[in-house]
Amino acid sequence: MNKPIAPELMQAAESVGSTGTQAMDAYWMPFTANRQFKKAPRLLTRADRMHYVDADGRQVLDGVAGLWCVNAGHNRPRIVKAIQDQAAEMDFAPPFQMAHPKAFELAERVAAIAPAGMGKVFFTNSGSESVDTALKMAIAYHRVRGEGQRTRLIGRERGYHGVNFGGISVGGMVANRKHFGSLLAGVDHIRHTHDPARNAFSRGQPAHGAEIADDLERLVALHDASTIAAVIVEPVAGSTGVLVPPQGYLQRLREICDRHGILLIFDEVITGFGRTGNPFAAQTFGVTPDMITCAKGLTNGCVPMGAVIVRDAIHDAFMSGPEHLIEFFHGYTYSAHPLACAAGIATLDTYADDGLLTRAKELEPYFADAVHSLKGEPNVIDVRNIGLVGGIELAPLPGEPTKRAFGAFLDCWQQGVLIRTTGDTIAMSPPLIIERAQIDELVDKVRGAIRRAA
């Protein structure tokens, strides 16, 4: 039974005309200012290619691919049909000691676009689950090969690796950590790479900061390499404000990991599936990690799914002992769910048909010109870009961090454009099907919002 709607919510809802008689009490929204939202809701009801339609029937240009996931644009017919057909054919298949053909097919397809040597795919249901799966795999891998003392996990300041306990422990965002107790033991962090003093307004990869990777040597000296299982970083940090890796940084991190037998995990939940102009950012930056975590674009956001892509040698290390025994005690009821696998295969077909896994490379110069044209606008203190990702950092309002950028977000919404903000950075990551005129529209509306927020 629906509870009665609080009068003030009803009034607020009516004032924006977008909720009708929708009850809004029960839904506790994730990562949302719930009370503010329910006073002035922003409800999306339909979507097609580059646009949402809101509850008032307004068209909204999607500047963030939903939430960095709808890389092929919305409601692509091939993906919709694949999900419909699969639901009618087989709704669920248990993934433990059983399987269905599309799970194998999708794993092969993902391995085929992954960096060479990364041929094994473990399915999860989200980015957060992919991260926790990869961390467990890393520790278990060292154990099965006789180095069970390698249990320490290293993350990076300003990292975002989802919201499960492993992910927030290696993550480096204080708001996501401080409420949740002591987190995982045996975790440490290397320094983040953000260096506006030397790198502000860099186009693409900043020139300065490769040496920041040496911070890993500091932790090796402190803990001893023999205790460290893995290092996890986002090749491009998204949720902490679009931080592009300095030239040479990831190469140096790889070298240090190799020197000390430490596994390197790239969290590609937002960079996977074409965002930087290649299937994975590992290929864009020419650095091959030991594991890649991904989700989002794997199914074009249509059905929840994540994956960990693993170097063959890591997988093979588990394949010892009696053949009738389970090799890795981990998995989810919905790992390789048939609907997700059907969506994933149709998504990869759509990416291939439309050339989307490399389209960001073609559009990057145009997109970079557009976002860097915001330099000089009021309070813009940095502009960062790579592939089809742009970050516009605004000077915070004195004593009120995040408020200026959030104001720009609300302003853009009023103008019919969906962006995202994190701290005082505006992030743009449109579907990879975006046209040049739509890039202009997106950036011009952001420009207007920035001016009005001055």
Ligand X SMILES: Cc1ncc(COP(=O)(O)O)c(C=O)c1O
**Given the rule CB under 6 A, which of 40-48, 113-121, 184-192, 231-239 is the region that contacts ligand X?**
231-239
Which one of 122, 141, 160, 285 is in contact with ligand X (CB under 6 A)? 160
How far apart CA 163 and CA 165 sit, in angstroms, is 7
Which one of 239, 288, 421, 425 is in contact with ligand X (CB under 6 A)? 239
For residues 267 and 293, the answer to whether their CB atoms sit within 8 Å is yes
**Given the rule CB under 6 A, which of 157-165, 214-222, 339-347, 422-430 is the region that contacts ligand X?**
157-165
Q: Does 225 sit near ligand X (CB under 6 A)?
A: no
Which one of 54, 215, 234, 411 is in contact with ligand X (CB under 6 A)? 234
Q: Does 308 sit near ligand X (CB under 6 A)?
A: no
Burial (CB count <10 Å: 0-12, 13-18, 19+), residue 124: buried
x/- binding map, residues 51-90, to ligand X, per CB under 6 A?
----------------------------------------
Judged by CB, which is closer to ligand X: 283, or 379?
A: 283
Judged by CB, which is closer to ligand X: 104, or 180?
A: 180
**Are β-strands 389-394 and 51-54 bridged in parallel, bridged antiparallel, or unpaired?**
unpaired
Q: Does 421 sit near ligand X (CB under 6 A)?
A: no
How far apart CA 340 and CA 346 sit, in angstroms, is 10
Query: What residue type is assigned to position 301 of the chain?
Result: G
**Given the rule CB under 6 A, which of 70-78, 127-135, 371-379, 389-397 is the region that contacts ligand X?**
127-135
Smallest separation (angstroms) from ligand X to the CB of 387 = 15
Query: 3-state class of 305 per DSSP?
Result: coil
How far apart CA 454 and CA 451 sit, in angstroms, is 5
Smallest separation (angstroms) from ligand X to the CB of 187 = 16
Query: 3-state class of 408 per DSSP?
Result: helix
Other residues' Cβ atoms within 10 Å of the Cβ of residue 103: 21
Judged by CB, which is closer to ligand X: 19, or 130?
A: 130
Judged by CB, which is closer to ligand X: 138, or 220?
A: 138
Chain-centroid distance, C-alpha 83: 23
Smallest separation (angstroms) from ligand X to the CB of 39 = 26
Say which residues have a Cβ less than 8 Å from residue 180's Cβ, sequence separation at least 6.
165, 168
Helices (H) and strands (E) in the chain, counts: 17, 15
How far apart CA 450 and CA 336 sit, in angstroms, is 43
Q: Does 132 sit near ligand X (CB under 6 A)?
A: no
Name the residue whose CB lies closest to ligand X.
Answer: 127
Say which residues have a Cβ less than 8 Å from residue 22's Cβ, sequence separation at least 6.
5, 13, 41, 43
Q: Does 338 sit near ligand X (CB under 6 A)?
A: no
Residue count at the site for ligand X (CB under 6 A)? 14
Smallest separation (angstroms) from ligand X to the CB of 69 = 8
* Sign for the pseudo-dihedral over CA of 362, 364, 367, 373: negative
For residues 423 and 402, the answer to whether their CB atoms sit within 8 Å is yes
Judged by CB, which is closer to ligand X: 164, or 283?
A: 164
Which one of 24, 55, 107, 131 is in contact with ligand X (CB under 6 A)? 131
Q: Does 236 sit near ligand X (CB under 6 A)?
A: no
Residue with tokens 């006789």: 146
Nearest to 60 by CA among 78, 38, 40, 42: 42
Q: Does 241 sit near ligand X (CB under 6 A)?
A: no
Q: Does 243 sit near ligand X (CB under 6 A)?
A: no
Judged by CB, which is closer to ligand X: 131, or 243?
A: 131
Smallest separation (angstroms) from ligand X to the CB of 233 = 9
x/- binding map, residues 261-300, to ligand X, per CB under 6 A?
------x-xx------------------------x-----
Nearest-10 crossing angle of helices 249-260, 215-223: 20
Q: Does 305 sit near ligand X (CB under 6 A)?
A: no
Burial (CB count <10 Å: 0-12, 13-18, 19+), residue 376: exposed
Positions touching ligand X (CB under 6 A) are 126-128, 131, 160-162, 234, 238-239, 267, 269-270, 295
